[in-house]
């Protein structure tokens, strides 16, 4: 039910302003239909299409950059509010950083979240997502193995409306972790990791997962297996996938498909062999 802000007496306006964070004060102005209220000084807001928030390593410092093809640092003020309308990057974050003072000055009207070089948990992700004013449709995460602390279960529980997801990790049981969240409607999912961690599901589990996603769904896996140790890994992976996904000699058919990427890695003693991308149709 709408609250009649404009009917409040001036003293209550001022008290409400005193109890509000800068972001809340800005939202009160919007809620009042931009009609002047007795809230004291008007809360100013700077709007950006894309913002990148970057923590400094071993220093309690947060820098803010606008992300328009190139990064350009913004001199932030505690007297202003900053609105992002498209994409928010979180760079070098850790659990607890979501409580930084800047988030009380940030209005997140974006639907694209990207986390890079950060060691964060599912609780962190849930807290960040709660600050968005609209459902997140695009999500990507890039971390080193040492930093990895998120699970696919935590990601999809926090992002039930996500349609495009890209993560640079995989672990045994990763697909079962996703299906436990009853995720539906995905259009694209990219994962990365070793073949022994990726292929830890049955044909039935994969098919059931695919059926629940968008009819154009693509699952892309990029192998991180080293060619230095396995000279013929492209052929080995291709043979393994064919044996895994072909049932009684007949491939599963449909519009959804699995794409396998095997990046070219150059080693003096082990040149890559064969194609670098395999695409198999998997679905119904």
| Rounded Cα distance, 214 and 234, in Å | 29
- Which pLDDT tens digit goes with each residue over 148-164? 678 999 999 999 999 99
Do 49 and 86 contact (CB within 8 A), yes or no? yes
- Which pLDDT tens digit goes with each residue over 175-224? 999 999 999 999 999 998 888 888 888 777 887 888 899 888 888 888 77
- Which pLDDT tens digit goes with each residue over 249-266? 444 445 566 776 665 543
Measured in degrees and rounded to the nearest 5, phi and psi for residue 35 equal -85, 130
Given pLDDT bands bounded at 50, 70 and 90, which one contains residue 281?
Answer: very low
For residue 64, what are the CA distances in angstroms to 53, 73, 88, 105, 181?
5, 6, 11, 12, 34
Do 257 and 279 contact (CB within 8 A), yes or no? yes
Least confident stretch, 67-71, 116-120, 159-163, 228-232: 228-232
Measured in degrees and rounded to the nearest 5, phi and psi for residue 157 equal -70, -35
- Which pLDDT tens digit goes with each residue over 20-51? 666 766 666 666 665 555 455 666 778 899 99
Q: If you compute the radius of gyration of the chain from its CA atoms, what whole number of angstroms results? A: 24
């Amino acid at each position: 039910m709408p609250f009649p802000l404009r009917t409040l007496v001036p003293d209550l306006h001022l008290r409400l302003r005193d109890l509000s964070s800068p972001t809340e004060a800005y939202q009160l102005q919007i809620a009042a239909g931009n009609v002047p209220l007795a809230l004291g000084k008007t809360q100013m807001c700077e709007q950006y299409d894309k913002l990148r928030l970057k923590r400094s390593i071993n220093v309690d410092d947060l820098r803010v950059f606008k992300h328009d093809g190139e990064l350009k640092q913004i001199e932030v003020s505690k007297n202003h509010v900053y609105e992002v309308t498209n994409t928010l990057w979180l760079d070098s974050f850790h659990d607890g950083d979501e409580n930084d003072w800047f988030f009380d000055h940030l209005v997140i009207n974006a639907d694209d979240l990207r986390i890079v070089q950060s060691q964060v948990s599912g609780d962190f992700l849930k807290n960040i997502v709660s600050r968005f004013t609209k459902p997140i449709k695009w999500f990507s995460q890039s971390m080193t193995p040492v930093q990895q602390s998120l699970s696919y279960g935590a990601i999809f529980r926090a992002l039930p409306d996500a349609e495009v997801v890209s993560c640079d990790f995989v672990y045994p049981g990763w697909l079962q972790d996703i299906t436990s969240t009853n995720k539906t409607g995905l259009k694209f999912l990219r994962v990365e990791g070793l073949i022994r961690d990726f292929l830890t599901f049955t044909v039935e589990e994969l098919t059931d997962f695919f059926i629940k996603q968008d009819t154009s769904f693509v699952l892309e896996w990029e192998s991180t297996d080293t060619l230095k140790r396995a000279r013929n890994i492209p052929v080995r992976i291709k043979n393994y996938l064919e044996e895994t996904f072909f049932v009684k000699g007949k491939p599963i058919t449909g519009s959804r498909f699995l794409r396998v990427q095997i990046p070219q890695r150059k080693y003096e003693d082990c040149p890559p062999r064969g194609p670098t991308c395999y695409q198999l149709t998997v679905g119904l």
